[in-house]
Amino acid sequence: MDNQYHHSSSSSSSPSSSFGSLTVAERLQKTAELTGLSEEHLAQLSEPSNLKSSLANHMIENMISTIAIPVGIATDLLIDGREVLAPMATEEHWIISAVCAAAQQCRETGGFTTSASGSLMIAQIQLLDITDPHRARLAILEHRSEIAEMCNACDPMLIRRGGGFHDVDVRIVGSGEARQVVVHLIIDTRDAMGANTVNTMAERVAPKIEEWTGGRVLLRILSNLADRRLARARAEWSLEAIGGAAVRDAIIDAYRFAEADPYRAVTNNKGIMNGISAVVLATGNDTRAVEAGAHGYAARDGRIRSLTQWEKSASGGLAGSIELPMAVGLVGGATKVHPTAQALLAVLGVETATDLGRIIAAVGLAENFSAMKALATVGIQSDFMALHARSIAIDAGASESEIQAVVAAMVGSGKINGDEAVNVLAQIRSA
């Protein structure tokens, strides 16, 4: 079918340029007309969800629909002595069960212990055309009190909550004529992620930076490498819980692989983020910001490494730990306006953004434990493919009453693929 959207004429405006002035229903209908959507696809995009269309329309531009991601609960988490149910939004099998299994196996040794470095975010101001950067650096630092006053005036509510300006740092980056002066405004954003707040402060301070130095400000933006807002978690697994010393040593050897080889480290950290991003998404926080910060932190010394560390504990078991930036919030953004996110935060029962970040770190450590254990013993496919078989069965057309039988047959035969699902389903229906 000819797709009008991709084969439009060379007029001065595109057929979709009027989207912003349309209602949600009109926008969806226009999309269907321009792209040749089938009635089935149009009906699917029209389906309601637990996020009202009227609210979603105010959250993003040109909104036409919402997409539902399954939300599950990670159980058995004992974090800092408290029983925690962690909501996780994910489309992938194995992720939630991996956290549950890891949490259950370290309960006898006390579960997870967490900590955090605070709630400080960084806004960067880029200063160009400076011939004497060292003089400029000191000139900026001499105005610390004035910078503090300007920053705090931007958000009186933040000050009342105990946050606000914390410090200013000035860095000289690059070399020769490429040298630049970079100002870091260090702000305590408390229970907000804080992007809008710190960006506003950078905008407010920028003209004064130019005045004091004679330079030219270009970028004024937060840094997602939130290395002053770290979340940490640690736990210990006994040899009895994990299956003996051979399993412990295999996990440690697998960790050393991730530490030594960036090709392995990237995949290892992706697995950690499977758990972390699921909780971040469920609570309405910015998954891209947290992921960017985590991967940047893992490569902070110039080579990407594992976000977790695994070692033999003093008692002979397996000790795991994690530390990474965790710029999440309880107020502002989608966290504040998305009713499902608010409900899932209530499930967590957290009172501060720091508490949320610590729980997320524990989930990331749990996720990595189960992945490392599977990889170092039976292999990841053994567990993953058994769970993935459900998706294959559904894709083959199995009904709710047929799914389990199709899965069992595929797992039993060791053939977990689409063709096998179709064959098995045909046999079931002909029986």
DSSP tag of 194: -
Q: Does residue 47 carry a pLDDT above 70?
A: yes
Write down the pLDDT at residue 301. Answer: 95
State the average pLDDT over residues 134-139: 97
Write down the pLDDT at residue 367. Answer: 98
Query: Which tops the pLDDT comparison, 5 or 394?
Result: 394
Q: Does residue 7 carry a pLDDT above 50?
A: no
Q: Which element (helix H / strand E) includes 296?
A: helix 287-298
State the average pLDDT over residues 80-108: 96
Q: Does residue 4 carry a pLDDT above 70?
A: no
State the average pLDDT over residues 280-298: 97
- Pull the structure tokens for residue 193: 């992620």
DSSP tag of 174: S
3-state secondary structure of 428: helix
Q: Does residue 139 carry a pLDDT above 80?
A: yes
Write down the pLDDT at residue 13. Answer: 60
Write down the pLDDT at residue 413. Answer: 83
Q: Does residue 5 carry a pLDDT above 50?
A: no
Write down the pLDDT at residue 19. Answer: 81
Distance CA 94, CA 382 (A): 11
Write down the pLDDT at residue 381. Answer: 54
Q: Does residue 419 carry a pLDDT above 60?
A: yes
Write down the pLDDT at residue 365. Answer: 98
Q: Does residue 6 carry a pLDDT above 50?
A: no
Spatial CB neighbours of 356, under 8 Å, sequence gap ≥ 6: 283, 328, 330, 345, 348, 350
Write down the pLDDT at residue 119. Answer: 97
- Residue 394: band (very low, low, confident or very high) from pLDDT cuts 50, 70, 90: confident
Distance CA 28, CA 30 (A): 5
DSSP alpha helices (H): ranges in 36-164?
A: 39-46, 53-59, 95-105, 133-141, 144-153, 156-160
pLDDT above 90 as % of the chain = 76
Write down the pLDDT at residue 416. Answer: 82
- Domains and their CATH numbers in the chain: 1-68 (no CATH), 76-116+230-377 (3.90.770.10), 120-223 (3.30.70.420), 382-430 (1.10.8)
Write down the pLDDT at residue 8. Answer: 40
Query: Which tops the pLDDT comparison, 401 or 70?
Result: 70
- Residue 14: band (very low, low, confident or very high) from pLDDT cuts 50, 70, 90: low
Distance CA 269, CA 265 (A): 6
Note whether 105 and 372 are within 8 A (CB): no
State the average pLDDT over residues 147-172: 97
Distance CA 202, CA 199 (A): 5
Q: Does residue 111 carry a pLDDT above 50?
A: yes
Q: What is the mean pLDDT of the chain?
A: 92
Query: Which tops the pLDDT comparison, 106 or 14?
Result: 106
